[in-house]
Structure 1
Amino acid sequence: MPSRPRFRGLPVLLLSLLLAAGCSGVAQQLPEPAPDRESADRAAALGDPRTVDPCSLVDDAALARFGEVRDAGTVSLDYCLLRVRADGGALAQVKVGELAPEDPGQSDPVVGEAEPRIAQEAPLPGHCTRRVLLGDRSVLVSADQLAGGPGVELCGMAQAGAEQAAAAIREHRVAHRNFPANSLAVLDPCRVLSTDVVRQVPGLEDAEPVAAPGGHQCQWGPDDASAPRVRLVHTAGDPPAVLHGTAVEEQIAGRRTVTSVVGGDPATPLCSAETGHLPFGPAGGGQVEVAMLVVAYPDGTGLDACEFARGLAERAWPGLPPR
């Protein structure tokens, strides 16, 4: 395990790296390739991706033939989550609306006559995905089996959801949420946390920030289970809560924060630090916007990852807008 400096008199390892990069700095985003006119026109049909209401892309009626449909509640600013209970008791989960970069080299079958068309990914056990193509990006619609035996029509659900999402975009029926100026939804997470600070995490010395197309996530490091990575996500849902024995409620940079080994097993080298922000959704619903830092540190334990998460949160939270 690589050696890590300790800051004199403080128990949290990452407090040393908090000071190593100085007291200021704004993360620099990777330049995005300039889209061609066709790609730009397709993306424009969606509108500002930061404010899209993903639940406006799908209606319960599109999935009703597969079983009883219910809204699973907001867990992300990027997608709408639905649950489908089939007649035989099987339970599936459908996610609609998350944006992903579209690789022009992908060769999945593409169906549909009208734009936007739909790419059909090969199904995996218990999972099926469709992509609504918008030039250099796509809208993901996926179905996952949560419970029950075989025979659940996951690809049928994903296809039905994708067809409705494509129609909503084509017919300019995409709804947008209204967020105040101090909302996390309209704040670029790549500008909240300094890349110089992230680079103090062992293994991330050369990391660059990569922004997700929806504008609510920024990641440093590869999507590789054997490599360290840091991700800052602006999301929404229930307020951060202490859910197991490896979770701690604490004050970080003056904000109530829940730091937690993901899954609760200290051996899992993955930790999150979450802080609530403005109320989200209908008045009285109890949900809030959430800033969430996730740190993967495969060379250590979940407790090591949490030390880094705490230190990064010390530097990120002051960059959040006032409540």
Structure 2
Amino acid sequence: MVRLFAALILLTLLAGCATPVTGPALANDAAASEAAEPLTSQRALGDYPSLDYCSLMDQNAFPKRLGLIAVYPHGSYDYCLFTVQQSGTEAKVQIGNLEDQKTISDADHAVDRRLPQGLEVHRDTTRGKLGGCVRYLRFTDGLLITVVASMSDPQTSRDTCEVADATMDIVINRVAAKKVRHYEFAANALGRRDMCDLVPAQLVGAKIGTAGAMLLKFPSGHVCQWAGPARESPVARLYVAPGESTYDPDRSKGEKIAGRDTTVTLTPIAGPRTRCQLETSEPGWPQQPVAEFVLIEIAVPGAQKDACGPARELAGEVWPKLPR
């Protein structure tokens, strides 16, 4: 009994001398635990549709030895663009799109370097052959952010990969520092919507004249593409983006489709295809005063084929589903 009583006294004394772990120590442990967890795109970027890709860029952190940023980063809903000038040459840089394994299935890429939390930087060996340098930041869930650097003038040359790599380093640092920002969409903003769900693939295929049309959808839901299984089948694309109109006034005309003002532009493209683009817009809101543009683009095989007819038919299905 004496021994038991002594043991209880000892336990009481030890408990009284113990120091509870609180405050910074617990906070540091939590931060260390979080830093060790695999980093998915959802954890790193948050809501995909509202992601501001220009928040992944810090022009003050760009190495001066590689040039000066001449055009301040400006973004769409799916990418951020800027230019870098050095010794009379200019490189164009794009951060974004956010892609998945389907949207980059046409590209060969390999691991360039491995980073903490399971992140990887991949180098592209396919798309870069088109005249630029492509890098991907791959998250543990398989989604990737693209960084592309290319020359504004194809007749000039420089090492665009050092520009792409420097930009990728900034993107990685911004993600690690949790400096990602998001658009504050109004309730009826098109940027909030999944544009790819507005029309089913079977209906799109019927409008553009291809059986078995399949949807290729970017994770943001702002960029959608439908095409048939054949390599030379017609292709339909649907975009939503903020900013200024992209139409060519020398090739465009205005008309009404499904009660909406629409700009129709027939555009020649390289190769045996004809392309037609239709555009309509929605006004902005206080936090985003510029307009939102919805674009439908149809490309059909054949240099003299009618691409605008199918585009008008598809617009007749999409436009009524947009807010008024």
TM over 0.5, shorter chain: yes
Q: Aligned residue for 2:257?
A: 252
- Decide whether the 8 Å contact of 1:278 with 1:288 is kept in 2: yes
Structure 2 letter corresponding to 1:82: F
Per the alignment, in what secondary structure is the counterpart of residue 297 of structure 1?
strand
- Decide whether the 8 Å contact of 1:240 with 1:258 is kept in 2: no
Measured in 1, the distance between the counterparts of 2:73 and 2:267 equals 21
Q: What does 1:23-172 correspond to in 2, within 5 Å?
A: 41-61=40-60, 62-71=62-71, 74=74, 76-86=76-86, 88-102=87-101, 108-115=110-117, 116-122=119-125, 123-124=128-129, 126-134=131-139, 135-147=141-153, 150-172=156-178
**1 or 2, which has the higher strand percentage?**
2
Compared CA separation, residues 73 and 244, structure 1 to 2 (3 A): farther
Q: Aligned residue for 1:220?
A: 226
Quote the sequence identity (%): 27
Q: CA deviation at 1:65?
A: 2.9
- Decide whether the 8 Å contact of 1:244 with 1:264 is kept in 2: no
Q: Which consecutive residues of structure 2, in runs of 5 or more, have no partner in the other structure?
A: 1-36
Measured in 1, the distance between the counterparts of 2:250 and 2:269 equals 6
Q: Of residues 295, 309, 316 in structure 2, which corresponds to 1:314?
A: 316
Q: Aligned residue for 1:197?
A: 203
Q: Aligned residue for 2:18?
A: none
Measured in 1, the distance between the counterparts of 2:210 and 2:184 equals 36
Number of residue pairs matched by the alignment: 280
- Decide whether the 8 Å contact of 2:208 with 2:311 is kept in 1: no
Q: Aligned residue for 1:26?
A: none
Q: Aligned residue for 2:10?
A: none
Q: TM-score scaled to structure 1, two decimals?
A: 0.77
Q: Aligned residue for 2:298?
A: 295
1:273 matched to 2:278? The reply is: yes
Structure 2 letter corresponding to 1:178: E
Measured in 1, the distance between the counterparts of 2:317 and 2:226 equals 15
Structure 1 letter corresponding to 2:56: L
Deviations 1:183-233 (A, max 9, x none): 111111122224343121455221132321122112111698722111111
Q: Which consecutive residues of structure 1, in runs of 5 or more, have no partner in the other structure?
A: 1-37
Measured in 1, the distance between the counterparts of 2:75 and 2:310 equals 25
Q: CA deviation at 1:124?
A: 2.6
Per the alignment, in what secondary structure is the counterpart of residue 45 of structure 2?
coil
Measured in 2, the distance between the counterparts of 1:202 and 1:252 equals 17
Q: CA RMSD in A?
A: 3.0
Q: CA deviation at 1:161?
A: 1.0
1:262 matched to 2:267? The reply is: yes
Q: Which runs of at least 4 in structure 1 moved beyond 6 Å after TM superposition?
A: 280-284
Structure 2 letter corresponding to 1:51: S
Rg comparison, structure with higher value: 2
- Decide whether the 8 Å contact of 1:185 with 1:216 is kept in 2: yes
Compared CA separation, residues 44 and 263, structure 1 to 2 (3 A): farther
Compared CA separation, residues 229 and 315, structure 1 to 2 (3 A): same
- Decide whether the 8 Å contact of 1:74 with 1:236 is kept in 2: no
- Decide whether the 8 Å contact of 2:71 with 2:84 is kept in 1: no
Q: Which moved more, 1:200-209 or 1:211-220?
A: 200-209
Structure 1 letter corresponding to 2:264: T
Q: CA deviation at 1:71?
A: 3.3
Compared CA separation, residues 291 and 297, structure 1 to 2 (3 A): same
**1 or 2, which has the higher helix percentage?**
2
Measured in 2, the distance between the counterparts of 1:281 and 1:121 equals 40
Q: CA deviation at 1:43?
A: 3.1
Compared CA separation, residues 204 and 149, structure 1 to 2 (3 A): closer
